[in-house]
Chain A
């Protein structure tokens, strides 16, 4: 394996055009993890930049939704249920853990069923956040049949849609994408076709092993050298061209595309999934008449710029000083998928 990796790195150096900067963006926390952990950045030709993009659902979850979740957990008749990472995300009124009251952590949506059964006299609200890889499981939970006392607070985002925004933003200047392996398992490799075809951006779907990721980077640079833009998939064992049809069907049975609020970025048209009208009765936003709360920026935090590939974590003045994984000031420091958290843990780019 080591030999193959060395060969790939050598080949990358040989084929890379040296006359311009090349910015390759990943949109998956696990990719950023592999890149940082393996020290891949330092192995790249000088003009090749590997930037982390919006690959962290916790980082972009709207502050308003989290505040609503905190407030729901303060009701005597309600239990808020969500993923562990969400408990520590800071907002203007603290985090679920620091300021919430009745909350429970789950690692899978179907665990909500047990909590609902044990607390049949309470409203159980499942705070479902994330990209396609968590939204489809939430749809599966609803399909299984929700108990009467369960409603869902959604904050679900779509990956291809945010990437299209990035492409149109000239400050970012992305030259190529490494598309996320597991999101692609759901949406299908073909979901990324728009990038090479409409925007001329080489895009390669990759897995998480260093060698597979290097192969993706090699294929991207080869395309750039040859002046072409295509969609390739080097993670074929997991990702099919059409993706997981059943997961897609279930997601769109209950949810529809709508404009959603990305933390620090604002509303982006058609970039998330919200309940269809028919499901108002299980939509916590409707059932509890939840307000939209105006976002307040965390002073000094540049997480929004990091998520968009406009800045790196170590450009933040709070990075590693006031803001650490133990005491996160901004959302990018909270979860294993946040760029600030990853960079902090490895103490390196």
Chain B
């Protein structure tokens, strides 16, 4: 629940947006970011469906590296 996931904003309809990560699109809320600050193409950290901060692409990639490991472990458990 407390795990933040980096996603790329692909569509904005403030205060909602569509964001993408790993080929999966999700409706997210961008209400926690000022309307004039977030743009299509930005990377954001998403917590429980809400963008909480805009980050660099490089930081997004770093965070995904760790998350990929976590996901792999969880998949193993489910299987």
Nearest residue (CB) in B for A33 is: B70
Give the residues in chain B near A58, CB-CB below 8 Å.
1
Interface size class of A (residues with CB under 8 A): 35 or more
Q: How far is the CA of A136 from the CA of B2 in the complex (A)?
A: 12
The reply to whether A30 and B3 contact each other, CB–CB distance below 8 Å, is yes
Contact bitstring B14-50, A, C-beta under 8 A = 1, else 0:
0110000000000111011110000000000101111
Q: A130-B1, A209-B62, A345-B73 are in contact. Are A238 and B48 (CB under 8 A)?
A: no
Q: Nearest A residue to B30 by beta-carbon distance?
A: A140
In the complex, are the beta carbons of B1 and A134 less than 8 A apart?
yes
Could you say which residues of chain A place their CB within 8 Å of the CB of B77? Answer: 325, 345
- Please name all residues of chain B whose beta carbon is closer than 8 Å to the beta carbon of A325 when the two chains form the complex: 77
The answer to whether B63 touches A109, judged by C-beta atoms less than 8 angstroms apart, is: no
B65 → chain A, closest Cβ, in Å?
7
Q: State in angstroms the CA–CA spacing of A325 and B70 once bound together.
A: 16
Q: Is the CB of B59 within 8 A of A140?
A: no
Residue from the list B1, B16, B52, B66 in contact with A110, Cβ < 8 A: B16
Q: Are A237 and B31 in contact, with the CB atoms below 8 A? A: no
What's the nearest-Cβ distance from chain B to residue A35, in Å?
Answer: 12
Q: Does A270 reach chain B (CB closer than 8 Å)?
A: no
Partner of B45, one of A131, A140, A185: A185
Among A141, A185, A209, A335, which residue has its beta carbon within 8 angstroms of that of B29? A141
State whether A337 touches B2 (Cβ < 8 A).
yes
Q: With a CB–CB cut-off of 8 A, which chain A residues contact B2? A: 28-30, 55-57, 130-131, 133-134, 182-183, 337
Shortest distance between the CB of B67 and any CB in chain A (Å): 8
Are A140 and B16 in contact, with the CB atoms below 8 A? no
Q: Which residue on chain A has the smallest CB distance to residue B35? A: A246
A140 touches B50 (CB 8 A): yes
User: Do A246 and B73 touch (CB < 8 A)?
Assistant: no
Residues on B with beta carbons closer than 8 Å to the beta carbon of A131: 2
Contact A134/B45 with A238-B53, A244-B32 known, Cβ cut-off 8 Å: no
Check B50–A109 contact: CB distance below 8 A.
yes
A312 and B52 CA atoms in complex are apart in Å by 32
In the bound complex, do residue B63 and residue A207 qualify as a contact, i.e. CB atoms below 8 Å apart? yes
A108 at the interface (CB under 8 A from B): yes
Does A311 sit within 8 A of B, measured CB to CB? Answer: no
Residues of chain A within 8 A of B34, CB atoms compared? 246
Instruction: Determine how close the nearest CB of chain A comes to the CB of B75; give it in whole angstroms.
Output: 13
Docked complex Cα distance between A49 and B23 (Å): 40
Q: Which residues of A contact B56 (CB under 8 A)?
A: 237
B38 to chain A, nearest CB (A): 11
Taking a contact as CB atoms under 8 Å apart, the answer to whether A144 and B29 are in contact is yes
- Output the nearest chain A residue to B70 by Cβ-Cβ distance: A33
Of all chain A residues, which has the CB nearest B76?
Answer: A345
The reply to whether B32 and A136 form a contact with Cβ atoms under 8 Å apart is: yes
Residues of A within 8 A of B31 (CB): 140, 143-144, 250
Interface-centre pick from B3, B32, B74 (highest chain A CB count, 10 A): B32
Provide the residues of chain A in CB contact with B4, threshold 8 Å: 133, 181-182, 185
- Please report the C-alpha to C-alpha distance between residue A134 and residue B3 in the assembled complex, in whole angstroms: 10
- In the bound complex, residues from chain A placing their C-beta under 8 Å from that of B47 are 133-134, 137, 182
A residues less than 8 Å from B52 (CB atoms): 133, 136-137, 182, 185-186, 244, 247
CB distance from A212 to the nearest CB of B (A): 8
Complex CA distance for A29 and B33, rounded to whole angstroms? 25
Beta-carbon nearest neighbor of A129 in chain B: B1
Chain B neighbourhood of A244, CB < 8 A: 32-33, 52-53
Contact A134 B70 (CB under 8 A): no
Whether A111 sits at the interface, judged by CB under 8 Å, is yes
Contacts of B33 in A (CB 8 A): 244, 246
**Is A208 interfacial (CB 8 A cutoff)?**
yes
Closest chain B residue to A240, Cβ basis: B53
Closest 7 CB pairs of A and B: A108-B49, A140-B31, A137-B50, A237-B59, A182-B4, A247-B32, A185-B53
